[in-house]
Every structure is written in C-alpha cells, then in structure tokens.
C-alpha cells in the first residue's frame, strides 16, 4: 500500500512564547541537538507534502534565518507566511493559505513548531484516517489525567465529535472532560477555506480560533472526527523551561532505548545523553556520564566513557575514549584516548594511536600507531606513523599573528619536555633529548639536543641557604659520606 501524502503541511510558529522567559524565540530552544522548530519541520517534511509552510511573527527575521539553515531548506522549498496583528491559530492558518494556490485541494495538515516528539508516522496516520473516512476535519486528540490549559474534545451521545471548547470558554462540565485537543489537524482544503472565512474574534481571548472551523463544518453537514493517540508525548508542547526539560528527557530516553534495542550497550541510560543525529553501531559500549552530540558516529566495538562528551566526532571500531572532551575530531580504529584528553576541531588520530592523559590537540594529524601519552599540547601538527612524543611537550604554533605547522616524521622518538617552534620539520627516525627546544629542522635519523651541559656547584646550598632544612640535610649527607670513607 502506497503512503498517503498531504497536499500541504502548515507549521504554526508565530507565538511569542513569553513563559519561556528568554531572548531566544521559544521554538528555537534545543532538545536532542535540534531546535523545537527543527524537530517539527523535519516531521512535517517527512510526509512529502506538495507544500510546506511555516507561519512566523515574533522575532521573524531570526526565525527565518534559522529555517534557512536547516537541512530541509536545501532539500525542498520551505514557504514562509507572516501572521499579522490579528491573534489566534485560525488567523495564522489564514495567513498560511495566502502562500498557497487559490485552487488548492486535498488534505491540509496543521501542526505546531513546539511539538518535538511528533513523528512523521503519526502525521501520516492522521492523514490516512482522514482521507479513508472522507472527513472534512480530523482532529488528533489524546486523553490526559490533567487537561488544564487544553481545549476539550466535546462529543455527542453517539460519540461523534461535536466541537472543541477552549479552557477559558469551557463551562464546569466541559472542563471535566479529559480528552483534549492536540491542536494538530487534517482538513479538507475546501472545508478549511470556507470555515476560516466564517471565523470571528467573539470569544474570551479575542482570537480567531482554528477550532471553530469544526463547528462550521458540522453545521454544513460535513463529516468531522477526532482520533486519539496513545502516545501523549507526541502532542506535548514546550511552553516553559520545565516542559522543555521534560520533553528533552523523554526524547533522550527514547534515543537510548532505540540504540539498546539495536545492540548498543548503554550502561546507565539515565546519565547518557544522545542527540538525534548521532549514529552508534551494534556492540559499541557507552559508559555512564557520556554525552554524544551533533553528528557523532560511534563504530562497532568502540567504548566511550565514562564522563565523556563528543560532538561531531567519529570513533572507529574497537577504539576507547575515556573521560574526554572532543569536537570535530576523528579517532581511528583501536586507538586510545584519555583519560582527561581534549580533542579540538581538526584532530585526527590514526589506527592504534594514542592520545593520553592531559593532552590537548588541535588541527593535528597523528598517524597510525603514533603516541602522545602525557601532559602535552599538539596544535597545527602532523605526527608520522609509529612516532612517540615525550611527556610535557608543546607544539609552539602561534607567533602572535599567524599559526604555523610542525611536521614530525615516521618512527621518531622525541624526548620529554620538548618544544617545537613552528614552522619546523623533524625527519623520519629522528631522536631528541629531554628539554630540547627544536627551532630548526632535524634531519632523518639525527639526534637533536639544545640544552647546555649540566654544571653542579658543590656546596651551594650550605653556602647560600645556611640553616635551612635543605642545608642541614645536605650537611648530614656529606657527614655520612665522610664516615663511610
């Protein structure tokens, strides 16, 4: 059976969202690595409608710029409709229709920009029920324990949809109804246009209610219906930070469950956060306290965590990443990172390589089997296959104006406490002594040494620090040596 596609989907995003108490438009607040609006638009686009329209008003330019940045905008035409000063969902829908052909026919879906858990499948199911029953209007409803704030679904004695009553317009009996209007509808285009033309602002809110289209259709003898979803989270909106956090938590729970059922071991889902665009292969293991953000990709057999945050980072098969923060980095197969490593953008660690404890890397290409084990900064560098960088090494890449690159060849053995003053190249198989400052290129196979020979000034402590514990200890040691002689 072929999938049913709506003629148009309208996403309402014109509300001010004052309860969010934020300078950022409500629908731009993120959960799961996407804005609320991104979630809503992606679900709508998944139904492959002929027309996809977003209605905006408050912070209009900011919202339009955000919409232009979404992947869907590069894949299809995304229409923008501006709501005028007349308030209400009915008026918002009227404004959306001005962007559509006058002879529009078929099914028009209306949804919201702040329902991030609504899925393409649910929208498609609503359209299928709507069209198979030849309805003029089909409402997506849900039954809740506390319906406060929602419009109520009022049915007649036969159970048919009679009307929808908003909270402030409902009487005591109507307020006791637990079936609520999600605000998500499928309309026959002709019935929608006729119903919108009949709307007034004669209500407690002084708004044009989209729900009044239902009463108009019923009075015209057209078929109207409400179909309930058993997944209340899909119709939950985010009006304040508490609701936003609850939706984020539920979305994350679903993400973790999806991956666990696909063969990923997530040791503690309650402390693991996984964005929508993350990929994790079967047999990967995610340890507690881990955040996988953006388009991070974890391969089979890899272990990430505990206490690790990776954003837009690729982790190869069998790799281990422990207590690490990484962004726009690549960790090769069987490589080891951490604990307490910082992988900045442009880091590439080759197969079986190592970035160890308290190491920071940036724009660094570290080859197969190469190691930077301890207490080092590697920036704007290339380290060849099999090379080892000693502890406390610093790649000095910035001259105050420009960044410069250091190249270390293959199988080099570099001493501890080295500094590489870029631009500089160290050849294949070269060595360096401890505390060497490499300012000039080092030929292949050479040993680089820059420190002066050590000098020991005998008796310096007793002469210059008399009476100190160090002087007393030195004196005792000297006395012991004399006795042993």
Would you list which residues are annotated within the binding site?
A: 12-15, 26, 83, 88-89, 112-114, 151, 166, 181, 239, 344, 362, 377, 388, 391, 397-398, 416, 434
d(CA 425, CA 448): 12
196 close to 98: Cβ distance less than 8 angstroms: no
- Relative to beta strand 336-337, strand 320-321 is parallel
Neighbours of 456 (CB within 10 A): 5
Binding residues for UDP-N-acetyl-alpha-D-glucosamine: 12-15, 26, 83, 88-89, 112-114, 151, 166, 181, 239, 344, 362, 377, 388
Closest by Cα among 311, 331, 310, 330 to 319: 331
314 close to 294: Cβ distance less than 8 angstroms: no
Query: How is residue 247 written in tokens?
Result: 């939706």
Annotated catalytic residue, options 51, 58, 325, 374: 374
What's the Rg (C-alpha) of the chain?
Answer: 33
Neighbours of 125 (CB within 10 A): 16
389 φ/ψ sector (left φ>0, alpha ψ -120 to 50, else beta)? beta
d(CA 257, CA 468): 65
341 close to 335: Cβ distance less than 8 angstroms: no
Binding residues for Mg(2+): 114, 239
CA distance to 356, 369, 377, 411, 435, per residue, from 359 (Å): 6, 16, 6, 20, 18
| CB contact set of 382 (below 8 Å; sequence gap of 6+) | 364, 365, 367, 405, 406, 407, 408
| CB contact set of 355 (below 8 Å; sequence gap of 6+) | 335, 336, 337, 338, 341, 343, 347, 349, 361, 366, 372
| Chain position carrying tokens 């910082």 | 342
Any catalytic annotation for residue 404?
Answer: no
| Type and span of the H or E element at 124 | helix 120-132
Closest by Cα among 215, 169, 19, 185 to 93: 185
Catalytic residues: 374
């Amino acid at each position: 059976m072929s999938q049913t596609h709506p003629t148009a989907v309208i996403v309402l995003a014109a509300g001010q969202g004052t309860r969010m108490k934020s300078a950022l438009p409500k629908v731009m607040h993120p959960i799961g690595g996407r804005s609320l609006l991104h979630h809503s638009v992606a679900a709508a686009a998944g139904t492959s409608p002929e027309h996809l329209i977003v209605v905006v008003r408050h912070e209009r330019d900011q919202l339009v710029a955000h919409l232009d940045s979404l992947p869907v905008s590069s894949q299809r035409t995304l229409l923008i409709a501006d709501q005028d000063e007349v308030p209400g969902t009915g008026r918002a829908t009227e404004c959306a229709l001005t962007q559509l052909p006058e002879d529009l026919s078929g099914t028009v879906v209306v949804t919201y920009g702040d329902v991030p858990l609504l899925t393409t499948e649910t929208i498609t199911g609503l359209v299928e029920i709507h069209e198979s029953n030849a309805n003029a209007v089909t409402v997506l409803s849900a039954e809740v324990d506390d319906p406060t704030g929602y419009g109520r679904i009022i049915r007649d004695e036969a159970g048919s949809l009679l009307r929808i009553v908003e909270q402030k317009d409902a009487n005591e009996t109507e307020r006791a109804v637990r079936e609520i209007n999600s605000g998500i509808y499928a309309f026959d285009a002709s019935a929608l246009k006729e119903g919108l033309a009949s709307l007034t602002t004669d209500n407690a809110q002084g708004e044009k209610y989209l729900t009044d289209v239902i009463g108009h259709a019923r009075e015209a003898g057209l078929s109207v219906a409400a179909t309930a979803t058993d997944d209340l989270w899909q119709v939950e909106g985010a009006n304040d930070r508490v609701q936003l956090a609850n939706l984020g938590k539920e979305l994350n729970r679903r993400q973790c469950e999806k991956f666990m059922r696909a063969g990923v071991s997530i040791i503690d889902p309650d402390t693991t956060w996984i964005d929508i665009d993350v990929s994790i292969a079967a047999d990967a293991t995610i340890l507690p306290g881990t955040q996988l953000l953006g388009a991070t990709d974890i391969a089979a057999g890899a272990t990430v965590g505990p206490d690790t945050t990776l954003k837009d980072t690729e982790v190869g098969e069998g790799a281990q990443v422990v207590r690490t923060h990484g962004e726009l980095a690549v960790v090769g197969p069987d490589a080891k990172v951490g604990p307490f490593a910082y992988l900045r953008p442009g880091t590439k660690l080759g197969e079986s390589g190592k970035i160890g404890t308290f190491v920071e890397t940036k724009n660094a290409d570290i080859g197969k089997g190469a190691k930077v084990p301890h207490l080092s900064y590697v920036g704007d560098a290339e380290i060849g296959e099999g090379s080892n960088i000693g502890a406390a090494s610093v790649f000095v890449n910035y001259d105050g104006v420009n960044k410069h690159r250091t190249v270390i060849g293959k199988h080099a053995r570099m001493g501890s406490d080295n500094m590489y003053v870029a631009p500089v190249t160290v050849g294949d198989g070269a060595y360096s002594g401890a505390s060497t400052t490499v300012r000039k290129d080092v030929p292949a196979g050479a040993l680089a040494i820059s420190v002066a020979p050590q000098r020991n000034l005998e008796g310096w402590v007793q002469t210059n620090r008399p009476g100190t514990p160090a002087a007393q200890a030195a004196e005792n040691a000297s006395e012991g040596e004399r006795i042993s002689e």
